[in-house]
Amino acid sequence: MSQIDVNDLTFYYEGSPDYIFEHVSFSVDTDWKLGLIGRNGKGKTTFLRLLLGSCEYSGSIRADTAFDYFPYPVRGEEMERCGAELSESWKPDCESWRVLRELDRLELDAEVFYRPFGTLSHGERTKVMLAVLFSGEHDFLLVDEPTSHLDQASRESVKAYLAGKKGFILVSHDRDLLDACVDHVLVLNRKTIEVQSGNFSSWWENKRRKDACSRAENEKHLKEIAALRKAAARSRQWADKSERSKIGFDPVKEPDHKGKRPYIGTKTKKMQSRVRQMEQRIGREIEEKEGLLQDVEEIASLKLMPLTHHKDCLIRAEGYGLQYAGAPEPVFDRLSFSLHREERVFLSGGNGCGKSSFIKAVLAGCTEDREQAVRDKGLQEKGILETASGMVISCVEQDTSFLKGGIREFCERRGLEEHLFCAVLRQLDMERAQFAKPMEDYSEGQKKKVLLASSLLTPAHLYIWDEPLNYIDVFSRMQIEKLLLSSRPTMLVVEHDVRFRETIATKVVDFAPFFK
């Protein structure tokens, strides 16, 4: 057991006007199961890179341990190699028997370790990498978003696996995963960094209380400052009036002024001194108030304006199945369900069970030539799939790789008003400095926010979101939950975040019974 000591850490990216870290100091124990929490763009992955020594910085990071990072890089040509071969470059000192032991704990067959990496599913690739990562003995492990693109079953197995480990930093926006796997949190607040024992829920409850106290204290200071300013204004007005009365009188016409001038001068001097003292106290009160709200998370209220379709039932599937052209078997078969106005239907099931294929069929069904659109996607249908005519659909795609160019060009392509689009991005806590960058330079979380902002600004009868929360920070997830509960749009959603689904879904359709 040892410590990682961070002292006076300062770092910024060249060309950026803002610091990622500025004179930051803290310590963590290498025996902890540490969750790293923060908004998109606050420097979570950057901090892991600094630990690895990948970037130059000022200050110091002292550690008596080696670091290893998940996910390992896999280049295109390496996809033909198996995990056993790749592990030699990922972790040169790893032993195969240790990796196979970890694969067994991850409930994965050993033969997966010897198959070409490109043939593995997202879940299998993640588990192979985690098995290699945890096959060492003395490393402190940096685990960055291990459940992205994983289905619920894979998430549960990864969660159970990490819950039994220690000596790692886990970067994740999945509240369920953080609660199950960590015993300390390292939080990148808006202005400060804090280390606290407990999981996400215990930290969040403490933060809510702390923020409430900060707001109350801020209100108290504001009232005190207002009262002091009002009293100071009255006193200064009296002092100014007294100052004027010391001069300008005629001693012949106003003989009663004799002897009053020294008295008035003394009173005026005292009053002016009192005014200065009040102004100094006002300054102290303002200094005390500054910083009270620097880390308070204000979850901005988003707006959504869904359209109301004249039909109650927008989608009806009865005995419906899909098969890709040339495939020996259908992806799924005999699916039956309906989606009505103001329902939020979540599609559930493992990766590859046909959820995204079903979404493709729904989108094809809203085109003028439905049959041709389905064939263009390489699909063959059976059974009934009815979609309401004239339905306007707003989508959040799973893939973000097509996002290129600037915000202005993106808004022009989608018919969005640029100033409104940027306003929504700001409400999702994207920094203004990002607006000048090409979108291909955005982080994955920022790219997802671009797609979410576009969807939120598009009035629609139906919102189809395919894994919208991948890489989206915890605070934005809660912000979106609040929006959907208040605006009650009609939705068809694929999302594996358990907390999000439990909060938002009005109906869950499980594809497992229909999967072939």
pLDDT digit string (tens) for 71-121?
999 988 899 999 999 999 999 888 999 999 999 999 899 999 999 999 998
Return the residue matching tokens 């997966």: 112
Q: How far apart are CA 56 and CA 49, in angstroms?
A: 10
Give bridge partners of residue 61 from the DSSP assignment.
6
Over residues 45-64, mean pLDDT: 91
What's the pLDDT at 292? 47
For the cut 80, the answer to whether the pLDDT of residue 44 exceeds it is: yes
Which of these, 51, 85, 47, 87, lies nearest to 66 by C-alpha position? 51
Report pLDDT for 358.
92
Give the torsion sign (CA, 102, 104, 108, 114): positive
Lowest average pLDDT, out of 14-23, 67-76, 413-422, 498-507, goes to 14-23
Contact in structure between 381 and 322 (CB atoms under 8 Å): yes
Q: Reply yes or no on whether the pLDDT at 244 is more than 70.
A: no
Among residues 364, 368, 418, 439, the alpha carbon closest in space to that of 395 is found at 364
Contact 21, 43 (CB under 8 A): yes
How far apart, in Å, are the Cα atoms of 389 and each of 22, 312, 379, 394? 56, 12, 21, 15
The mean per-residue pLDDT over the stretch 460-464 comes to 96
**How confident is the model over 295-340, as pLDDT tens digits?**
555 556 788 889 999 999 999 999 999 988 878 888 899 999 999 9
Expressed in angstroms, the distance from the first to the final Cα of the chain is 49
**Is residue 78 within 8 Å of residue 117, measured between CB atoms?**
yes
User: Peptide bond preceding 71: is omega within 30 degrees of 0, i.e. cis?
Assistant: yes
Q: What is the pLDDT of residue 12?
A: 85
**CB contact at 8 A, 485 and 504:** yes
From 354, 360, 318, 313, select the one nearest 336 (Cα to Cα): 318
Quote the CA–CA distance of 212 and 186 in Å, as a whole number.
Answer: 21
Asked if the model's pLDDT at residue 222 lies above 80, the reply is no
267 has a pLDDT exceeding 70? no
Residues 401, 335: Cα–Cα separation, whole Å: 31
What is the pLDDT, as a whole number, of residue 293? 47
Q: Are 238 and 271 in contact (CB under 8 A)?
A: yes
Is residue 452's pLDDT more than 80? Answer: yes
d(C-alpha 150, C-alpha 51), whole Å: 27
Residue 179: pLDDT over 60 = yes
Model pTM score: 0.77
Domains 3-201 and 313-514 share a fold: yes
Rounded CA-CA distance 363/314 in Å is: 12
Asked if the model's pLDDT at residue 239 lies above 80, the reply is: no
CATH of domain 3-201: 3.40.50.300
Q: What angle do CA 129, 466, 299 make, to 5 degrees?
A: 95
Query: Residue 248 pLDDT > 70, yes or no?
Result: no
Of residues 351 and 256, more confidence is placed in 351
Stretch 153-157: mean pLDDT, rounded?
Answer: 89
Residue ranges of E strands in 93-161:
140-144
Distances (CA, A) of 182 to 90, 300, 348, 472: 25, 28, 26, 19
pLDDT at 18 over 80: no
pLDDT of residue 190: 75
- The dihedral sign for the CA sequence 154, 157, 163, 166: negative
Look at residue 288 and tell me whether its pLDDT is greater than 90: no
Helices 407-414 and 418-427 cross at an angle (nearest 10°) of: 110
Q: Cα separation of 126 and 158, whole Å?
A: 9
pLDDT tens figures, 418-428: 999 999 999 98
Domain layout of the chain by residue ranges: 3-201, 207-289, 313-514
Mean pLDDT of the chain: 85
Cβ 392 vs Cβ 459: under 8 Å: yes
Task: List, as one string, the DSSP characters of 297-365.
Answer: ---PPP-------SSSEEEEEEEEEEEETT-SS-SEEEEEEEEETT-EEEEE--TTSSHHHHHHHHHHH
Share of the chain above pLDDT 70, in %: 84
Distant-in-sequence, close-in-space partners of 182: CB < 8 Å, separation ≥ 6:
33, 34, 35, 170, 199, 200
* CB of 358 closer than 8 Å to CB of 322: yes
Backbone torsions φ then ψ of 496, nearest 5 degrees: -100, 0
For tokens 């096959």, what's the residue?
A: 135
Place 516 in a pLDDT band, splitting at 50, 70 and 90: low
From residue 482, alpha-carbon distances to 190, 303, 307, 446 in Å are 21, 10, 19, 20
Residue 444 has pLDDT above 90, yes or no: no
Domain 313-514 has CATH 1.10.3470.10: no
Of 317, 330, 319, residue with least CA distance to 515: 330
Q: What percent of the chain has pLDDT over 90?
A: 54
Per-residue pLDDT tens for 430-441? 888 889 889 998
- HSE value, Cβ hemisphere, 13 Å, CA-based, for 4: 25
